[in-house]
Amino acid sequence: MIASDLGGIDTGNDGALAGCGPLLSNVAPVARPLRHVLFDHVRAQGGTTRAEMGRALGVSAASVSAVTSDLIADGFLRESPVAAVPDVENPRIGRGRPPVELQVAAEAYHVIGMKLGDLRHTAVLSDFAGRRIAEASMPTRPNRKSAAILIAEARALMDKLLAECGKNRRDISCVGVGMAGMVDFATGSVAWSPMLDAPSTALRGQFETALGVPTWLDNDANLLTLAELWFGGGRSKSDFAVVTIEHGVGMGLVLFNQLYRGARGVGMELGHTKVQLDGALCRCGKRGCLEAYVADYALAREAATALDQHESLSESPLALLESLFVEARGGNEAALSIFRRAGRYLALGLSNVAQMFDPEVIILSGGRMQYDYLYAREVLSEMQSMTLTGARPPARVEIHSWGDLVWAQGAVALALGALTEQLLGHSATRGSAA
């Protein structure tokens, strides 16, 4: 990490931690059932004893014992002996009953996380503890398509994933699916998406019917945010924002260690905030959107002019971007100016995020993090100069260069969260204290 008065710039991810899921269980404004809190704590820690859990959460030993006994009886947790460490100075110590660690019954349920993208669809199979078992991907074309075609592609990807790991649909308890656009998580409808040729009011239900498994649908930027919250550097952070830069520009927001979607479930569309009146045409059909200056297709549009390759724009936008980056590295002033302008607009967008939400950290992620001109010190300096901070330290900016499967991993978190709420909410036994 490079620390400065501009905030930290972290070009990696936090070290790998055991378990998965948010680590801050005591910051949510709404109290959750004890049953859910204890299970989530075990999964987040990767394994823990009853005594350690009681101390960490401030819960009585009797309550921990009663609730975890129910979770074991329901098949969600299991006991595993902890190997005792011998005391060489006093060998009599440790001869009593060995401590027992509680772990998630990982093999009890399996979920699939899927990201449907402009150029490639990806999928990950995970167990109930959040451990990745298998992965698959398949190419697609960056053009608008019908819901039926998109769903058929998702089904083909699911079949490919299951075939590779020797499982079938009956082994899967839940599927999480992410895609770009205005996706209403609660209703499963999509008001607009650059991937669809028309709005869909019941897309989640169509996915569920085609896949034959309970399915949840969300915006892809929310998936990336969930990946940070469940598996990445956001696990122990109360409030942070994730800004994604790929074929579009997206944003996810975590408040109180929980994903925030807005009142109607379609908030945080940073890419479609306006940065220029009557400006460049965005793929949403409106002008002056941030992503019309920063996203892949925007930079490729500029690259086609700078490199005089208009005919190749629709065929290989990523190849154009690579050529533009090589030219910029070589000192081509036209190429450099394109990245500089994109960086200035990105600085404006990030300043607005910092000003409106005051997050602890803003995480930049996505495939375009390879183009370091977008987060050069000049960009972050301009962001801070536009942000009114007073005497407070400025928002820190971190760069996370995840692989392409991170989106699908976020969809795994989406599926695990939905499945856990359903199972624990409906399976309580003997009127436990949950």
| Residue 305 bridge partners (DSSP) | none
The answer to whether residues 46 and 177 belong to one domain is no
pLDDT of residue 370: 72
State pLDDT tens for residues 44-80: 999 999 999 999 999 999 999 999 999 999 999 999 9
DSSP structure string for 228-241: HHHHSTTTT-SSEE
The CATH number assigned to the domain holding 217 equals 3.30.420.40
State pLDDT tens for residues 108-158: 999 999 999 988 999 999 999 999 999 999 999 878 999 999 999 999 999
pLDDT of residue 305: 79
Structural domain total, the chain: 3
The answer to whether residues 243 and 278 belong to one domain is yes
Domain span holding position 168: 110-225+406-425
The answer to whether residues 171 and 262 belong to one domain is no
The answer to whether residues 251 and 307 belong to one domain is yes
Helical segments of 249-316, H only: 291-294, 296-306
Selection from 200, 240, 213 nearest residue 365 by Cα = 240
The CATH number assigned to the domain holding 50 equals 1.10.10.10
Does some domain include residue 230? no
Does some domain include residue 2? no
pLDDT of residue 14: 42
State pLDDT tens for residues 15-47: 445 899 999 877 777 788 999 999 999 999 999
Contact 207, 374 (CB under 8 A): no
Contact 108, 173 (CB under 8 A): no
Query: pTM for the complete prediction?
Result: 0.87
> Consecutive sets of 10 residues in the chain, 434 residues long: mean pLDDT of each?
33 57 80 93 97 95 97 97 61 63 97 94 98 96 92 98 96 97 94 94 96 97 96 93 90 95 86 94 94 90 77 64 88 91 94 94 82 83 91 86 89 98 69 33
pLDDT of residue 12: 40
CA atoms within 13 Å, Cβ hemisphere of 4: 11
pLDDT of residue 11: 37
Q: What's the one-letter identity of residue 272?
A: H
Place of tokens 């390759």: 309
The answer to whether residues 140 and 219 belong to one domain is yes
Q: What's the one-letter identity of residue 140?
A: T
Distance CA(114)–CA(98), nearest Å, equals: 41
